[in-house]
Homo-oligomer: A and B are copies of this chain.
Amino acid sequence: MPHHKSAQPPRGSLGEFELIQRFFTHPLKTGSRVRLGVGDDCALIQPSPGSELAISSDMLVEGRHFLSTVDPARLGHKALAVNLSDLAACGAQPLGFTLALALPRAEATWLNGFSKGLMALAKAHDCELIGGDTTQGPLNICITVFGEIPLNNGRSQALLRSGAQPGDDVYVSGTLGDARLALEVFRGSVQVPAPIFEAARVRLEQPTPRVALGQALRGIATAACDISDGLSGDLGHILERSGVGATLDARQVIQLLGVKRYPVNARGAFDLERALSYVLAGGDDYELVFTAPPQATEAVTAAALATETPVLKIGTIDTEPGLRLWDGDGPPKPLNPTAFDHFK
């Protein structure tokens, strides 16, 4: 039945208030920009003078963004990680987040695991839970995250998708394709040894948002985007917004593959074409793709070292629109994103 905004907590032994108190309330840190957290009609934030706020929302739905069998602690981690990844892509420092949670039942064991995974990542990034909502309903996790970016002489330093210039280099952080490999194992389309699966599964279920790298790239990168839907699609956002194209070196791109030597084909040999698909259109990677001019190469390397984040140069921005792949032999070939539609 339709009813009040928040009078009806999830069914189970825990009421809404008890649920929030027990799992999601914590004392605010001294000196925090968050002046008032969970418990009033609104939370209050006083942003640092001379800064702007970056804001992003993501909604995760059971059966679509995660398996119902996933470890709740990993799910709590991932729900915040995908949002922190958006802050990273803008070069913002995490400040706080709201959590809205629809639950079929209020199960203490599940909530305990979920809140542990969530709050551990929040603590690691100094990102405070400032408010939210809980209700009974099909499992749905909606997080809105807030970060700060200092203005530079009144000008925005946010990394946008729109700043890539012809001649810029294209970089990617970390590794790609592992999450997709794990997903395909779950789907039964490929098989890998158990240790390989476990390693890939951690990337799928507990991605690492590149928060420190994003901030270190302020003033260096000309454009950035986080890779949530796959490299080709997310780099495509940069190209479209910047009105440019790009040519990627296939020999570099394949180096991005996290789990080496997999997937294998029916004869047990490394399946290069499929691996390339995972890297280019795997999804759920939560790495950063960004551009920077050649004269910034050393600065990019320094940012990568300072934040202990691997970064690989994989191509170049062109004036000609579209995305091309060059295998080191002959002219570059157009990379058609719909070539990977059989995965979707």
Partner of A55, one of B100, B130, B156: B130
Give Cα A90 to B7, complex, Å.
Answer: 20
Which residues in B have their C-beta under 8 angstroms from that of A174? none
Distance between A83 CB and nearest chain B CB, rounded to angstroms: 10
Q: Is the CB of B7 within 8 A of A344?
A: yes
Which residues in B have their C-beta under 8 angstroms from that of A229? 4-7
Q: Is the CB of B142 within 8 A of A100?
A: yes
Q: Is the CB of A135 within 8 A of B2?
A: no
Is A47 engaged at the interface, CB distance under 8 Å to the other chain?
Answer: yes
Tally chain A residues at the interface, Cβ within 8 Å: 82
Q: Is the CB of B98 within 8 A of A144?
A: yes
Q: Indicate the member of A57, A82, A137 with the most B CB atoms within 10 Å.
A: A57
Which residues in B have their C-beta under 8 angstroms from that of A132? 57
Is A317 engaged at the interface, CB distance under 8 Å to the other chain?
Answer: no
Partner of A228, one of B4, B35, B226: B4
Q: Is the CB of B2 within 8 A of A57?
A: no
- Nearest 9 interchain pairs by C-beta: A4-B283, A61-B137, A142-B142, A41-B89, A42-B54, A59-B100, A144-B144, A57-B98, A138-B138
Give Cα A49 to B65, complex, Å.
Answer: 39
Interface flags, A1-32, vs B, CB<8A=1, else 0: 11111111000000000000000000000000
Q: Indicate the member of A62, A90, A100 with the most B CB atoms within 10 Å.
A: A100
Distance between A56 CB and nearest chain B CB, rounded to angstroms: 5
Q: Contacts A57-B100, A161-B40 given: A64-B137 contact, CB under 8 Å? A: yes
Q: Indicate the member of A4, A63, A224 with the most B CB atoms within 10 Å.
A: A4
Q: Is the CB of A41 within 8 A of B344?
A: no
Give Cα A42 to B56, complex, Å.
Answer: 5
Q: Is the CB of B63 within 8 A of A2?
A: yes
Q: Indicate the member of A3, A45, A161 with the most B CB atoms within 10 Å.
A: A3
Give Cα A162 to B62, complex, Å.
Answer: 38
Q: Is the CB of B131 within 8 A of A41?
A: no
Is A230 engaged at the interface, CB distance under 8 Å to the other chain?
Answer: yes
